[in-house]
């Protein structure tokens, strides 16, 4: 079963603790600090159920949400309609992104880029992102750190139970390949029978060093402008679990605000 196929229906239940509005505020603050000109159009790579795309659209931005999962995009469409906003949604692989447009900003939040586990995939995704950013525009993204995979997730097991769904999440991290394997068992209530169906999915994320990320950005025509600890402007440290990156597309030089 494809990643997030079963999870799409209950994704937001288990992601309630994620402060998407706070993330969006940091995205806007990062644009104010490092961007140039007006922020009118954004492309959200790995948009999932629209946790960031919908709030940005509510602020008046032209947002294009991109995800590999049709099920996640269907949830994003439902949420956009419910919020009364227009959201363009595209089912594409971020390493093969081809939209035929440029945006002021390309986003990739919630460790979507860590899902690129094969050699050269990160560079491919960066190159496709760069091709969709106007000169002087920004690429804003986050990534889980190796510290998080090794020390926080490691070989630990997590579980969560809600009124009509539950999951058991088992982790296994290989320090040699730097790949974390997630084995997730979902227990989803059937509305008609009241019985719970068990569905299993397997996900993989890869840890990348700051040097690897910087090198991939440079090869893709992007310049790293800042890297922060999570969604704040504090510098990263040895126990940072998530890093937030600001990269600028090379080309025409524009003054910062």
pLDDT digits (tens, 9 = 90+) for 202-248: 889 999 999 999 999 999 999 999 999 999 999 999 999 999 999 99
Is pLDDT larger for residue 197 or for residue 147?
147
pLDDT digits (tens, 9 = 90+) for 104-145: 999 999 999 999 999 999 999 999 999 999 999 999 999 999
The domains of the chain, with CATH numbers, are 7-144+208-249 (3.40.50.150), 148-206 (2.20.25.110)
Residue 136 backbone class (left: φ over 0; alpha: ψ -120 to 50; beta: rest):
left
pLDDT score recorded for residue 102 = 97
Whether pTM > 0.75 for this model: the answer is yes
């Amino acid at each position: 079963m494809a990643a997030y196929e079963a999870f799409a229906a209950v994704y937001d239940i288990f992601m309630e603790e994620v402060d998407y509005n706070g993330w969006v505020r940091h995205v806007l603050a990062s644009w104010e600090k490092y961007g140039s000109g007006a922020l009118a159009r954004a492309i959200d790579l790995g948009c999932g159920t629209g946790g960031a795309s919908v709030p940005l659209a509510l602020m008046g931005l032209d947002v294009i949400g991109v995800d590999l999962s049709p099920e996640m995009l269907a949830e994003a469409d439902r949420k956009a309609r419910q919020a009364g906003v227009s959201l363009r949604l595209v089912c594409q692989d971020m390493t093969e992104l081809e939209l035929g447009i440029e945006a002021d900003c390309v986003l990739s939040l919630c460790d979507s880029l860590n899902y690129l586990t094969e050699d050269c995939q990160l560079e491919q995704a960066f190159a496709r992102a760069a091709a969709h950013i106007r000169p002087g525009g920004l690429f804003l993204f986050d990534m889980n750190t190796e510290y998080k995979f090794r020390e926080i997730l490691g070989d630990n097991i997590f579980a969560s139970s809600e009124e009509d769904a539950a999951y058991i999440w088992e982790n296994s991290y290989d320090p040699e390949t730097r790949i974390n394997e997630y084995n997730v068992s979902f227990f989803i209530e059937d509305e008609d029978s009241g019985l719970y169906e068990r569905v299993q999915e397997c996900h993989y994320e890869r840890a990348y060093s700051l040097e690897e990320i910087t090198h991939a950005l440079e090869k893709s025509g992007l310049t790293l402008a800042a890297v922060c600890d999570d969604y704040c402007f504090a510098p990263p440290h040895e126990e940072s679990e998530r890093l937030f990156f600001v990269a600028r597309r090379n080309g025409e030089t524009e003054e910062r605000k």
